[in-house]
Structure 1
Amino acid sequence: MIVIQAKLIFLNQEDKQIVLDLMRRWSSCMRFAYKRLLEGYDRKTLKRDLQGMFDLNSRYVDDAIMKARSTLESARQLDNNPKKVIFGGRDLFGKLQKRHINGKEYQKLKTKWQERRKGNLYSRGDKSKKGNLNTRIEVKENGTFLRINVGERKYVYARIEAGYKKNKRREELLQEIAESNIPYSVELKLKNGNIYAYFAIEEEYPEIKITKEKGVIGIDINAYPENISWTEVDEKGNLISYGSIPMPELASGSKDKREYFRWQYAHEIVKIAKEKGKAIVIEKLDIKEKGKRGDFSGRKSRRIRHSFSYKSLLSKIKTLAKREGIEVIEVNPSYTSIIGMLKYAPQYMITKDIAAAYVIARRGLGLQEKIPDNYMKFLNALTVEELEELKEYVKKTVRNKHLREKHIKEIKKAIKFLQSLESKPGRVLEPLDGTSFSAYDFWRVLKVAVVTPLSPEKVPRDFSALKELLIQGKWGDP
């Protein structure tokens, strides 16, 4: 999606006031629709009732309902209470409630909150209406204007000021959009007494030509150290080549600088995929606030999001790949690091990050990861007593309190898992009926049993010590 921001300049103050009143009514309509959606009202009923209530045409009302539904779904996805959503911003509202400032500063804060709450208008594009019916871009001799529908056959015109000199291309692009009749959405926002327009145009991507038919490129993005690990695999899942792209620029610097380099790194990945003629496999973008079990604990989830915008980088890779006609496959990231470090890092003598990228690539091809036979023999021989000894060893050797507690918690889960298997002879690798355990728990217990003793103070980068166990089935005193 391409978004162009511009300031609206009105011919007179009266026209501006008419639009401000429209924005106020639309914002009220959206908030009202939100409350009714919480109560279970359906779209058709709301669309019929709200038109007369807020003196808006059916398109404006429909867009208000859509925005309200989007806000509601967003709150639910983030595990926030939908009934406690505050339009205008919770942080600003909290500051106003505390009354920690007075006079002009308080009034300035109140005005800012009211602008965010009441100064909104959204109008979706429509291909059948040659762009946008309620808010249409029109090119005239004296400039580019936005025609705003403010009532039955009543329109207000505002000149679009997209910038000067280096931003002149914005106005030219808006003119091209107006003349091409492609659909575009317009969102109006009130800021510091001025009305700004945001024009959004959906990109039309070329047909997908590079698919997973000949293999894929698996991508694993790491927070510490900042790098992208990638692997190339053939259509059967065999490892062909791999590499790592360091990203030191994303650790610090201004927002614009980091954004620039995210695009550069995304270009590098897409270039690799294009040269090798393979699809790209990435982790799913829906990282929750509380994290996931397995690969994405809450702590790692927060670290990834805040250190270098993990989600933003993956989104850019998706966008650039689509522009090049390259298929992008998204997979569940759970346990990719654990499986990679245990199964492929010692086998191919690669880092755990490269190994994780390899698991992601194979998962994109639909391949399942089975625990190697020698690992299963080790697990079948593992006892609760040995894990209890490991727990005591960790208590004595690990100085870092947080890491020590983390290890002990993992060992306790592993002990509980082994105890649940005592009634199951052979300890078969399968989901366990009547329990909360899954096949992934075998990998987790394996990590506790073989990785923790190797390096209890930190996760090692070199897993060659596991090669004898993995290949030859040899292990010593746990």
Structure 2
Amino acid sequence: MEEIIRRFESGARYAYARICDSIPILDIEKDVMQKFDLNSRWAKDVVMRAKAAYDGAEKLVETGRLESPRKLIWGGRKNFECRSKGEITNGEWRRIRSNQFWSRGDKSKNGNLNLRIEPAEDNYQLRITIGTRQWEYCQLWIPEKFRAMLNAHLNTEPCYTVRVKRGKDDRYSVFITFDAELPTQSVGFKEGAIGIDLNPSGQAWAEVNVHGQLLGKGWINTPELQYARRGRRDWLIGQIAHQIVGLARSEGKGLVLEWLKFKRGENHGRKLNRIFNNFTHNRLIEAIVREAKQQGIAIKQVNPAFSSVIGRMKYQEVYPHLAVHEAAAYTYWAAEPYALLTCR
């Protein structure tokens, strides 16, 4: 396992440097195959990882957060500075830089040739290609709630992508990705909508009928989202998404969300900087959208510009019992009712 990680990550860094030198992709793939003793499919995946890193670096350059793609540091600048100061050893630095490998699936090859999932007696096993007709087998544990979905996919169209990543505790996590058909949309905007206003301290919602009249409102208090560590925060995001989508399903109305993005690079003070850094707004939006699509609930994202101001100055006078964030959530429906009606 560690040998595959070493060759894969070393090949990715080599390919990234060649991409920076504007060398053709096909030539890079051939070099990676020869220098790192990888088959053609491994080599293509290595170069694809390097190309993805290069595309990400270019976006950072466009936003002014990176001087040049050549300045990208594999393993992170913070860890690099720790290594420069002697705060971490060379071995630790190498393990940080090289901690994963992955392989794409192929429909024409009946699945994934380099990382294949196979049923075992009690669970599953992962077959890793290490050479020409040479494999290593690792026990793979799949949570019970995902087994039925995985079995159905393996029995019908076994094409999937597998990524193996070593964690800080030296345990390996396996991420399996495949395309799944979404259910038919069963809840739309025919009866109205529920507007959601997302904030670091909590999520406000406002329910309206098809004519835009307020029917209900509420506040989901999530103060822990501001301070929780990443693992806990990811769990909270999933719970929030499940609660919001559950509300939409119980009321039989679609969801209207914002697409607000916090401005980065500005100093808001130590406390607010931590809140804005931890409040992963896009990930919360993605979780709600993904959960809604999986349950067949219609969803629309609107421009939230000045929603709080409009809600406070216009709708709080009509509905004095509305809090400012609840008024902002109500504004999303009131701003574009006809656009939402066309989504039925």
Q: Tell me the TM-score normalised to structure 2 length.
A: 0.78
Q: What whole-Å deviation, never above 9, does each CA across 1:340-390 have from its counterpart, x for those lacking one?
A: 22333334333321221123334565769xxxxxxxxxxxxxxxxxxxxxx
Aligned to 2:197: 220
Aligned to 1:69: 51
Alpha carbons 1:184, 1:199 under 8 Å: kept: no
Give the Cα–Cα distance (whole angstroms) in 2 for the partners of residues 351 and 248 of structure 1: 17
Change (3 A) 1:309 1:175: closer
User: Residue 137 of structure 2 aligns to which amino acid in structure 1?
Assistant: A
Deviation of the 1:122 alpha carbon: 1.3
- Match of residue 160, structure 1, among 139, 158, 165: 139
Alpha carbons 1:289, 1:298 under 8 Å: kept: no
Asked if 1:201 corresponds to 2:188, the answer is: no
Give the Cα–Cα distance (whole angstroms) in 2 for the partners of residues 59 and 364 of structure 1: 49
User: Residue 284 of structure 1 aligns to which amino acid in structure 2?
Assistant: W
Change (3 A) 1:233 1:49: farther
Deviation of the 1:155 alpha carbon: 2.2
Alpha carbons 2:188, 2:254 under 8 Å: kept: yes
Aligned to 2:15: 33
Change (3 A) 1:53 1:260: closer
User: Residue 8 of structure 2 aligns to which amino acid in structure 1?
Assistant: W
Aligned to 2:333: 361
Asked if 1:264 corresponds to 2:239, the answer is: yes
Asked if 1:326 corresponds to 2:303, the answer is: no
User: Residue 158 of structure 2 aligns to which amino acid in structure 1?
Assistant: I
- Match of residue 284, structure 1, among 244, 259, 268: 259
Give the Cα–Cα distance (whole angstroms) in 2 for the partners of residues 219 and 339 of structure 1: 15
Alpha carbons 2:261, 2:281 under 8 Å: kept: no
Alpha carbons 1:143, 1:159 under 8 Å: kept: no
- Match of residue 335, structure 1, among 306, 315, 326: 306
Give the Cα–Cα distance (whole angstroms) in 1 for the partners of residues 3 and 74 of structure 2: 18
Give the Cα–Cα distance (whole angstroms) in 2 for the partners of residues 39 and 288 of structure 1: 33
- Match of residue 84, structure 1, among 63, 71, 78: 71
Give the Cα–Cα distance (whole angstroms) in 2 for the partners of residues 193 and 332 of structure 1: 42
User: Residue 138 of structure 2 aligns to which amino acid in structure 1?
Assistant: R
Change (3 A) 1:143 1:229: closer
Alpha carbons 2:111, 2:159 under 8 Å: kept: yes
- For structure 2, the residue ranges without an aligned partner over 5 or more in a row are none
Aligned to 1:139: 119
Q: What whole-Å deviation, never above 9, does each CA across 1:26-63 have from its counterpart, x for those lacking one?
A: 21221122233334455455445543443323322222
Aligned to 1:95: 82
Change (3 A) 1:118 1:252: closer
Give the Cα–Cα distance (whole angstroms) in 1 for the partners of residues 77 and 135 of structure 2: 33
Worse-superposed segment, 340-349 or 314-323: 340-349
Aligned pairs for 1:377-392 (under 5 A) are none
Aligned to 1:121: 101
Change (3 A) 1:193 1:352: closer
Change (3 A) 1:97 1:253: closer
Alignment size in residue pairs: 331
Answer with 1 or 2: which has the greater Rg: 1
Alpha carbons 1:138, 1:178 under 8 Å: kept: no
Change (3 A) 1:264 1:25: closer
Aligned to 1:405: none
Give the Cα–Cα distance (whole angstroms) in 1 for the partners of residues 268 and 293 of structure 2: 31
Deviation of the 1:94 alpha carbon: 0.7
Could you say what secondary structure the match of 1:212 adopts? coil
Alpha carbons 1:147, 1:155 under 8 Å: kept: no
Q: Tell me the TM-score normalised to structure 1 length.
A: 0.59
Deviation of the 1:123 alpha carbon: 0.6
Alpha carbons 2:162, 2:177 under 8 Å: kept: no
Aligned to 1:346: 317
Alpha carbons 2:226, 2:274 under 8 Å: kept: no
Deviation of the 1:114 alpha carbon: 0.6
Asked if 1:185 corresponds to 2:161, the answer is: yes
Change (3 A) 1:213 1:126: farther
User: Residue 102 of structure 2 aligns to which amino acid in structure 1?
Assistant: Y
Give the Cα–Cα distance (whole angstroms) in 1 for the partners of residues 24 and 222 of structure 2: 48
Identity, % of aligned positions: 32
Change (3 A) 1:252 1:23: closer
Give the Cα–Cα distance (whole angstroms) in 2 for the partners of residues 228 and 207 of structure 1: 27
Change (3 A) 1:84 1:40: same
Alpha carbons 1:329, 1:364 under 8 Å: kept: no
Change (3 A) 1:96 1:60: same
Could you say what secondary structure the match of 2:75 adopts? coil
